[in-house]
Amino acid sequence: MPRLPAARGAAASAQAQPPLVTIEMVAQAAGVSPSTVSRILNGTAVVSEDKAKAVHGAIERLGYVPSPVARGLAGGRTFSVGAVTQSLDSPFYGAALRGIEIELQQIGYTPLFISGQWNEIDERRSVAVLRARRVDGIILLDARLSDGELLQLAEQLPVVATGRTLSAPRLASLRFDNFQGAVEATQYLLRLGHRRVVFIAGAPDHQDAQERQRGYLHALAVSGIAPDEKLIVAGDYSEASGLRAIDGLLRRGAEFSAIFAANDQMALGAMLGLYRHGIAIPDQVSVVGFDDLQAGHFSIPPLSSVHQPSCEMGQIAARAMAALLGGTRPELQLPVPRLIVRESAAPCRRE
Amino acid sequence: MPRLPAARGAAASAQAQPPLVTIEMVAQAAGVSPSTVSRILNGTAVVSEDKAKAVHGAIERLGYVPSPVARGLAGGRTFSVGAVTQSLDSPFYGAALRGIEIELQQIGYTPLFISGQWNEIDERRSVAVLRARRVDGIILLDARLSDGELLQLAEQLPVVATGRTLSAPRLASLRFDNFQGAVEATQYLLRLGHRRVVFIAGAPDHQDAQERQRGYLHALAVSGIAPDEKLIVAGDYSEASGLRAIDGLLRRGAEFSAIFAANDQMALGAMLGLYRHGIAIPDQVSVVGFDDLQAGHFSIPPLSSVHQPSCEMGQIAARAMAALLGGTRPELQLPVPRLIVRESAAPCRRE
DNA sequence: CTGAAAGCGCTTACAG
DNA sequence: CTGAAAGCGCTTACAG
């Protein structure tokens, strides 16, 4: 005897999920087979006009919504893509997540956001969760996993990675030009007449941090300025480290008229440090950051910074995923770095 | 003829999903039936020691991970819960999302984050997406949907809502005490001797904004101070509106020695406005905010603010969901509002 | 162009 | 305590 609907109904009542409109019901209502309904929904085959109309009518009337769960099991595609971010509560990644959401939604996909917390262990676990959920592809924002691991992952399913330069049949990557951004920030300060420009470095294990430092060094070199080691101070991308940087610099009696911080958070921390020491910005010391965080738009004074188009990055990554999912190679056109000039830097008055 | 594995293999190759270890394979390897494996995994029935051991061994060896997709279809539970946030890139909600992620992960659930963008339309669409995905429950952070809609939703599946005071068999709600927080912020300013305290209001359609205004008014009343309408200025929770508030106040020649902004973003905007007009903080004007955003920790000067434990809120909401999912009524114990005193307020010097 | 049937990987009454 | 079987809601060769 076939199991009666009542059996499942009883089980379901514990969870009391709403009564489901199934493909079978619309098939019946439209006078066709479930196969036909499925094909119409998926555009899988050409179907006669009137049948199509009948089916759409039935769908409308019954309020049918296909179950992604069942589609996932049967078709092998879940119409979801995983997105691993380093942090769910970072002022920087949030916009990228929104960008991904916007773009994915447009093609009928659902994003699964999960965080990697800037370490390989969590990241690997997140990828495992995503794969267990059978996502159709995975987007990784600034992954900490090795290139090898990413490449290997891409053999299993489509992958797009930001902050990397990597390519494989099913792997697309995009990387913001941190070097160029840093060059522009530094040159801006140089053009204002500053010669002793402090660089507050980011976490040394972040590639982007390294690139920004190279950019700083390069701009100096182009202007024929020898880098002064005493002006390059370590940081870790946090506000607190920016503040500490200033304390250290001042304690050592370092001379400088400008600061380029590898990110806005450190720039903001540095500004607070300067304020505590009674140093006026930009009158006595100019400050430029990197990222163009919201927090810098209304800081005192508003912070000049290299804009990172993080929402667009998310959108571009998602569109690349869409292409991969569609079986085509994505064309990736990244926005170029642009310095947003606000009020935290002024011409050098010293010397 | 039964469809051969090859058939599906061919279809799958388009997506090239990895070869799957199924429950059937571990059953075979352990010499038991799939039913038994399932029961062991779900703790659904008592099973003999040795069978259990054999099964766990096989799972280990084969690296079996149950498919949530199949479990969802068969069992009616997907082990995922939806979380609708107003914004994925808000400095405020991010921490709550992380709190939800932490807690859900601990009970083996996956969160599905989706944004509502502060409007009913998107929120409703998000809830629909979540339901189509067959999540086992939905957490809503400061939903814009009506109480009625929430109650109705809770008839379909477990719901927990923040920012509400609502109760139903399968609906839990938790609400931060905005009123009390505002009272404390205002009283702090009052204790510092300020008598003319500006209130920059939040978006009038936000309940929390209204409560904060009531708190401000209440504190004034308790101190026997008649509210001055000219000191209550409209805002919308954005930095820009805080800045505009100052411009308006100053243009009208309003007299005040302190400002209580209904959130930090407006407080920060107000501080910039003050700075532009050459007014020193806190020497000439004191400022207090609400939310205790990261951006205020390093503002100039660091902003005193009512702390909102947003990560904990997320965790509490998730734990409440876990209870609901387990069929028990959650006990909700919310942290009380606490003012974090930093450097943006000082004793009143006027008069 | 379209339907019947098998199968996706699980869970869960049912019957020992 | 445990297995065989049916079913969850779809998709997709297969065979008209």
A18 pLDDT tier (thresholds 50, 70, 90): low
Give one DSSP letter per residue of B109-172, joined into a string: -EEEEEE-TTSHHHHHHHHHHHHHTT-SEEEESS--S-HHHHHHHHHHS-EEEET----BTTEE
B341 touches strand C (CB under 7 A): no
Does residue A54 have a pLDDT over 90? no
CA nearest to A237, candidates A293, A284, A185, A190: A293
Distance of alpha carbon A39 from alpha carbon A59, whole angstroms: 14
Q: Among A170-179, B19-28, B156-165, which stretch is predicted with the lowest mean pLDDT?
A: B19-28
> Which residue bears the tokens 């709550």?
B96
* Amino acid found at B237: Y
Residue A269 in contact with residue A239, Cβ under 8 Å? Answer: yes
Does the bond joining B169 to the residue before it have cis omega, within 30 degrees of 0?
no
User: Does B76 contact A17 at a Cβ distance shorter than 8 Å?
Assistant: yes
CA distances from residue B278 to A303, A345, B246, B274, B348 in whole angstroms, order as listed: 18, 18, 12, 6, 18
Average pLDDT over residues A238-263: 97
Q: Tell me how far apart the alpha carbons of residues A153 and A193 are, in angstroms, rounded to a whole number.
A: 49
Stated in angstroms, how far is B68 CA from C7 C1'? 18
The answer to whether residue B243 sits within a structural domain is yes
Percent of the residues in chain A that have a pLDDT greater than 70, as a whole number: 94
Strands A110-115 and A80-85, sheet pairing: parallel
Which nt is closest to the CA of A35, judged by C1'? Answer: C3
Distance CA B311, CA B93 (A): 8
Which pLDDT value is given to residue B4? Answer: 33
Q: Can you give the C-alpha Rg of chain B in angstroms?
A: 27
Closest CA relative to residue A86, chosen from A168, A205, A180: A205
- Asked if residue B116 belongs to a domain, the reply is yes
Final residue in a domain of this structure, among A14, A34, A66: A66
Asked if B306 and B292 touch (Cβ cutoff 8 Å), the reply is yes
Q: What distance in Å separates the CA atoms of residue A184 and residue B61, rounded to the nearest whole number? A: 54
pLDDT for the residue numbered A45: 74
Confidence of residue B19 (pLDDT cuts 50, 70, 90): low
Contact list, B78 vs chain A (CB under 8 Å): 69
Q: Is the CB of B41 under 7 A from strand C?
A: yes
Q: In what order do the strands lie in the sheet with A232-233?
A: A232-233, A197-200, A258-261, A286-291, A304-307, A338-340
Task: List the single range of B183-192, B299-308, B312-321, B341-350 with lowest mean pLDDT.
Answer: B341-350
The per-residue pLDDT for A350 is 60
Section A22-40 average pLDDT: 90
Query: Residue A113 to residues B107, B315, B316: CA-CA distances in angstroms?
Result: 17, 17, 20
Which pLDDT score is estimated for B3? 33
The answer to whether residue A234 is domain-embedded is yes
pLDDT at B221 over 90: yes
The whole-angstrom distance between B226's CA and the closest CA on chain A is: 32
CA distance B227 to B219: 10
Question: Both A186 and A222 in a single domain?
Answer: yes
Residue B45: what pLDDT?
A: 74
Q: Which of A34, A52, A53 is nearest to A43 (CA)?
A: A52
Q: Which residues pair with B307 in a beta bridge?
A: B291, B338
A205 and A151 fall within a common domain: no
Chain A residues touching B73 at Cβ < 8 A: 67, 69-70, 73
> Does A25 share its domain with A102?
no
A150-174 residue pLDDT tens: 999 999 999 999 999 999 999 999 9
Q: What is the mean pLDDT of residues A238-267?
A: 97
Range of the domain at A281: 178-307
Q: Which CATH number is A167's domain given?
A: 3.40.50.2300
Asked whether residue A346 is domain-assigned, the answer is no
Band (pLDDT 50/70/90 cuts) for residue A17 is low
- How many residues would you count in chain A? 351
Same domain, A275 and A303: yes
Do B97 and A87 lie within an 8 Å CB cutoff?
Answer: no
Report how far residue B66's alpha carbon sits from residue B80's, in angstroms, rounded to the nearest whole number. Answer: 14
Residue A194, token pair as written in the block: 């500053």
| Amino acid whose CA is nearest the C1' of C1 | A47
What H or E segment, with its residue span, contains residue A274? helix A264-276
Contacts of A46 (CB under 8 A, 6+ apart): none
pLDDT of residue B305: 98
Cα A124–Cα A125–Cα A129 angle in degrees, nearest 5: 120
Q: CA B6, C1' C8: Å apart?
A: 13
Considering the domain boundaries, does residue A148 fall inside one? yes
Report the candidate in A263, A124, A300 with the shortest Cα–Cα distance to residue B303: A300
Here the tokens at position A276 are 């505590």
Does one domain contain both B182 and B303? yes
Under DSSP, is residue A301 helix (H, G, I), strand (E, B) or coil? coil
Q: Residue B50: pLDDT above 90?
A: no
In a domain, B120, yes or no: yes
CA distance B268 to chain A (A): 7
pLDDT band with cut points at 50, 70 and 90 for residue B18: low
Average pLDDT over residues B37-48: 82
> Is A17 in the same domain as A90?
no
Q: How far is A236 from chain B (nearest CA, A)?
A: 16
CATH code: domain of residue B58: 1.10.260.40
Give pTM, 2 decimals: 0.91
Same domain assignment for residues A150 and A182: no
Which letter, b or e, does each residue of A89-120 get, where b requires 16 or more Cβ atoms within 10 Å of its Cβ? bbbbbbbbbbbbbbbbbeeebbbbbbbbbbee
Q: Which two tokens stand for residue B50?
A: 């040795």
pLDDT at A314: 97
**CB A42 within 7 Å, strand C:** no
Give Cα separations from B163 to A52, B122, B211, B267, B314 (angstroms).
45, 18, 11, 22, 12
- Model confidence at B331: pLDDT above 90: no
Which residues of B are less than 8 Å from A17 in CB distance?
Answer: 76, 134, 156-157
The predicted structure's pLDDT at residue A13: 34
**What's the confidence (pLDDT) of residue A191?**
98
Cα–Cα distance measured from residue B261 to residue B202, given in angstroms and rounded to the nearest whole number: 8
| Same domain as A284, residue A257 | yes
pLDDT at B8 over 50: no
Look up tokens 């450097």; give the residue.
B343
Asked, for residue B20, whether it belongs to a domain, the answer is: yes
The pLDDT mean for chain A works out to: 91
The rounded percent of chain B whose pLDDT value lies above 70 is 94
Instruction: Determine, yes or no, domain membership for A296.
Output: yes
B282 preceded by a cis bond (ω within 30 of 0): yes
Above pLDDT 90, what percent of chain B? 76
Question: What does the block give as tokens for A3?
Answer: 């199991």
B134 touches strand D (CB under 7 A): no
Question: B328 exposed, middle or buried (CB, 10 Å; 0-12, 13-18, 19+)?
Answer: exposed
A132 CB closer than 7 A to any strand C atom: no
Which band of pLDDT confidence, cut at 50, 70 and 90, is reported for residue B350?
low
Give distance CA A136 / C1' C1 (Å): 31
Tens of pLDDT, residue by residue over A41-53, are: 888 777 777 788 8
Mean pLDDT, residues B216-232:
97
pLDDT confidence of residue A336: 95
pLDDT of residue B295: 94
B17 pLDDT higher than 70: no
Q: Please report how many Cα atoms fall inside a 13 Å half-sphere around the Cα of residue B163, on the Cβ side.
A: 24
Distance B28 CA to C15 C1' (A): 22
Same domain membership, residue A227 and residue A167: no
Give the model confidence (pLDDT) of A314-344 as tens digits. Answer: 999 999 999 999 889 998 889 999 999 999 9
Distance from CA of B13 to the nearest CA of A (A): 10
Counting the structural domains of chain A, the total is 3
Same domain, A10 and A49: yes
Q: Is the CB of B101 less than 8 angstroms away from the CB of A88? A: yes
B112 and B205 assigned to the same domain: no
In this predicted structure, what is the pLDDT of residue A7?
33
Specify the pLDDT at position A3: 33
**Beta-bridge mates of residue A336:** none
Locate B254 and state its tokens. 């309003």
Q: What is the mean pLDDT of chain B?
A: 91
Q: For residue B146, what are its two tokens?
A: 């009506």
> For B230-256, what is the mean pLDDT?
97
Give chain B's length.
Answer: 351
| Chain position carrying tokens 């951004």 | A181
> Over 70: is that where the pLDDT of A208 sits?
yes
Chain B environment of A65 (Cβ under 8 Å): 128, 132
Indicate the helix (H) or strand (E) that contains A319: helix A310-325
Give ∠ CA A152-A175-A304 in degrees, rounded to 5. Answer: 150
Same-domain pairing of A271 and A220: yes
The yes-or-no verdict on residue A117 having pLDDT over 80 is yes
* 3-state SS class at B290: strand
Strand-pair partners of B112: B82
Å: A28 CA to C4 C1': 15
By C1' distance from the Cα of A46, the closest nucleotide is C1
> Bigger pLDDT: B199 or B6?
B199
Paired residues of A276 in beta bridges: none
At residue B49 the predicted structure's pLDDT band, cuts being 50, 70 and 90, is confident
How buried is A42 (Cβ within 10 angstroms: 0-12 exposed, 13-18 middle, 19+ buried)? Answer: exposed
